[in-house]
């Protein structure tokens, strides 16, 4: 599919690195290490005030795309804890494993499929050259116990994907909502995997969120809808306003296909650490519903009442995205370091998050030039008037330039400044984050000006 030229100029000084993103995320309240005061918990992260806003906005955009813009898709919020037979039927108990090796010398643990082939063949540790153990299979599901007795009889899993909650509810939804094939079910929720390697910040974690949509189709129509959903997912990222030159398709080869998949593509994004999977579009065939029918003993056939009560097990096209991984993409994609002056000091530079205004945690910051002479009161009043329509911030401390820089770092697309002229003619300045251009508008025109700017936004 078509890609456009990347809009991010690479210069070693302004290169976007994971270290810079981690540092800004902590400094500005996007993402914190879980349980940091105890030394941190590997594979888990906490989303701060800016992070939770950004995450919710990404989730809302995806949800709107799926349910509001597609008439034939409905939502679901299934429980994380499911009957353990679910995971036998899904194949996770048997197949959801990673190959694991340990180094006998440095004690590091690796996924065998991530070690260079020559080293693995020689059983040589890629870090210290020590001897590696034999490869063994390691199941990624977290086990826990339900009920008061911990003797194994209450074994239960934390779901490793949200998809199965949709499959086991498919019949309920067909019946309660009179859904007719083809139709989809969308869900956003937490998933848990006991990942062996959890580096790269929030890219691969043990606790994360997924945004999955399962589309139920008549057998034989699966390939057509598979192509349809590939196209739809590509368009979603165009709408999200990210750099399309950093996205590409990767088709799974025979060795890569998951146990359930007839065909699969990943959308990959060029993260600071390289091209990596962002989300998957899978043709899951009739594997899932056949297996649940077999393991539950319940008839999961669809009855096509418009076609002489024809019965069949639907095929499923899945679009499976990581919400937290998408957040990392949005952070990486928005991050810029820009030279804005040439006076030979640190202030010449700004770090700016060029989020799409629909995703930015704060849409408008209202800043009085001075606290005194009634400017703060006017600014507070303006903020109050904007609150219903926009997410707002208010900042009256420090030099105005510093305040703009703070807003740039959290990606606020518009700053409204109240100055002495405001008192005279009821005008304010609107400062645009990307161009840093400032225009004067009447207070009454502020809301329509901002709405228009959001509607017409194109990242520069």
Report how far apart the first and last C-alpha atoms of the chain are (Å, whole number). 23
Q: Does 287 bind ligand GAP (CB under 6 A)?
A: no
In angstroms, rounded to a whole number, what is the distance separating the alpha carbons of residues 146 and 86? 15
Q: Output 167 or 404, the one with its CB closest to ligand GAP.
A: 167
Whole-number Cα distances in Å, 159 to 99, 115, 228: 20, 28, 28
SS (H, E, C) 287-313: HHHHHHHHHHCCCCCEEEHHHCCEEEC
Tally of CB atoms within 10 A around 145: 13
In angstroms, rounded to a whole number, what is the distance separating the alpha carbons of residues 417 and 431? 8
Q: Does 321 bind ligand GAP (CB under 6 A)?
A: yes
In angstroms, rounded to a whole number, what is the distance separating the alpha carbons of residues 445 and 440? 10
In angstroms, rounded to a whole number, what is the distance separating the alpha carbons of residues 109 and 197? 8
Residue 323 per-residue DSSP state: H
Is residue 274 within a helix (H) or strand (E), and if so which, with residue range? Answer: strand 274-283
In angstroms, rounded to a whole number, what is the distance separating the alpha carbons of residues 31 and 47? 5
Residue 412 per-residue DSSP state: -
Tally of CB atoms within 10 A around 80: 14
Please give the backbone phi and psi of residue 455, each rounded to the nearest 5 degrees, phi first.
Answer: -60, -40
Options 325, 406, 431, 433; binder of ligand GAP; rule CB under 6 A? 325
Q: Output 210 or 407, the one with its CB closest to ligand GAP.
A: 210
Least Å distance, CB 455 to ligand GAP, is 30
In angstroms, rounded to a whole number, what is the distance separating the alpha carbons of residues 412 and 21? 17
Q: Does 412 bind ligand GAP (CB under 6 A)?
A: no
Q: Nearest CA to 323 among 170, 434, 208, 221?
A: 208
**Region binding ligand GAP by CB under 6 A among candidate stretches 31-39, 322-330, 375-383, 404-412:** 322-330
Q: Does 280 bind ligand GAP (CB under 6 A)?
A: yes
Q: Does 322 bind ligand GAP (CB under 6 A)?
A: yes
Q: Output 189 or 357, the one with its CB closest to ligand GAP.
A: 189
Q: Does 319 bind ligand GAP (CB under 6 A)?
A: no
Instruction: Determine contact, residues 423/378, Cβ cutoff 8 Å.
Output: yes
Residue 245 per-residue DSSP state: G
Q: Does 243 bind ligand GAP (CB under 6 A)?
A: no
Options 7, 124, 195, 434; binder of ligand GAP; rule CB under 6 A? 195
Least Å distance, CB 206 to ligand GAP, is 7
Q: Does 279 bind ligand GAP (CB under 6 A)?
A: yes
Options 92, 204, 354, 433; binder of ligand GAP; rule CB under 6 A? 204
Q: Output 167 or 183, the one with its CB closest to ligand GAP.
A: 167
Q: Which of residues 290-309 bind ligand GAP (CB under 6 A)?
A: none
Least Å distance, CB 261 to ligand GAP, is 9
Q: Output 320 or 363, the one with its CB closest to ligand GAP.
A: 320
Least Å distance, CB 318 to ligand GAP, is 6
The residue nearest ligand GAP at its CB is 322
Angle at 266 between CA 337 and CA 182, to 5 degrees: 125
Q: Output 275 or 457, the one with its CB closest to ligand GAP.
A: 275
Q: Nearest CA to 216 among 73, 18, 14?
A: 73
Q: Does 193 bind ligand GAP (CB under 6 A)?
A: yes
Q: Does 433 bind ligand GAP (CB under 6 A)?
A: no
Options 65, 98, 161, 408; binder of ligand GAP; rule CB under 6 A? 161
Q: Does 86 bind ligand GAP (CB under 6 A)?
A: no
Q: Pattern 211-240, binding to ligand GAP, x per CB under 6 A?
A: -x----------------------------
Contacts of 234 (CB under 8 A, 6+ apart): 1, 247, 267
With 0-12 / 13-18 / 19 or more C-beta atoms within 10 angstroms meaning exposed / middle / buried, residue 191 is: buried
Q: Pattern 45-84, binding to ligand GAP, x per CB under 6 A?
A: ----------------------------------------
Q: Output 21 or 321, the one with its CB closest to ligand GAP.
A: 321
Angle at 440 between CA 434 and CA 443, to 5 degrees: 110
Options 277, 304, 434, 447; binder of ligand GAP; rule CB under 6 A? 277
List residues near ligand GAP by CB under 6 A: 161, 163, 193, 195, 204-205, 208, 210, 212, 277-280, 318, 320-322, 324-325
């Amino acid at each position: 599919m078509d890609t456009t030229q990347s809009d991010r100029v690479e210069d070693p000084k302004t290169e976007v690195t994971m270290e810079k993103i981690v540092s800004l995320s902590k400094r500005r309240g996007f993402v914190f290490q879980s349980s940091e005061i105890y030394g941190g918990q590997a594979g888990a992260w906490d989303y701060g005030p800016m992070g939770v806003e950004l995450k919710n906005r990404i989730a809302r955009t995806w949800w709107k795309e799926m349910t509001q813009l597609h008439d034939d898709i409905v939502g679901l919020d299934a429980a994380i804890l499911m009957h353990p037979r679910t995971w036998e039927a899904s194949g996770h108990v048997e197949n959801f494993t990673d190959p694991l090796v340990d180094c006998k010398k440095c004690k590091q643990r690796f996924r065998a499929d991530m070690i260079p082939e020559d080293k693995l063949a020689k059983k040589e540790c890629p870090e210290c050259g020590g001897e590696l153990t034999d490869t063994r299979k390691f199941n990624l599901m977290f086990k826990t116990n339900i009920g008061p007795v911990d003797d194994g009889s209450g074994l239960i899993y934390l779901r490793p994907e949200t998809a199965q909650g949709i499959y086991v509810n498919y019949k309920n939804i067909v019946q309660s909502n009179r859904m007719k094939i083809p139709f989809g079910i969308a869900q956003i929720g937490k998933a848990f995997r006991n990942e062996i390697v959890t580096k790269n910040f929030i890219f691969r974690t043990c606790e994360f969120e997924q945004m999955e949509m399962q589309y139920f189709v008549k057998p034989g129509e699966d390939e057509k809808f598979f192509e349809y959903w590939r196209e739809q997912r590509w368009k979603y990222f165009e709408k999200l306003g990210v750099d399309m030159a950093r996205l590409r398709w990767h088709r799974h080869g025979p060795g890569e296909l998951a146990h359930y998949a007839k065909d699969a593509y990943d959308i990959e994004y060029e993260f600071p650490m390289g091209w990596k999977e962002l989300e998957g579009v899978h043709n899951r065939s009739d594997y899932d519903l056949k297996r649940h029918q077999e393991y539950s003993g319940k008839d999961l056939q669809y009855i096509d009442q418009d076609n002489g009560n024809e019965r069949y097990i639907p095929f499923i096209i899945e679009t499976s995205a990581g919400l937290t991984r998408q957040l990392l993409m949005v952070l990486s994609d928005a991050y810029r370091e820009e030279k804005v002056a040439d006076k030979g000091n640190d202030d010449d530079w700004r770090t700016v998050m060029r989020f799409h205004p629909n995703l930015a945690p704060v849409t408008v910051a209202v800043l009085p030039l001075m606290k005194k002479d009634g400017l703060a009161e006017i600014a507070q009043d303006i903020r109050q008037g904007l609150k219903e329509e926009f997410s707002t911030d208010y900042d009256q401390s420090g030099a105005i330039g510093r305040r703009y820089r703070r807003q740039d770092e959290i990606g606020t697309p518009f700053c409204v400044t109240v100055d002495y002229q405001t008192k005279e003619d009821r005008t304010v300045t609107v400062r645009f984050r990307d161009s840093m251009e400032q225009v004067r508008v009447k207070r009454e025109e502020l809301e329509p000006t901002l709405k228009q700017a959001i509607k017409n936004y194109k990242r520069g």
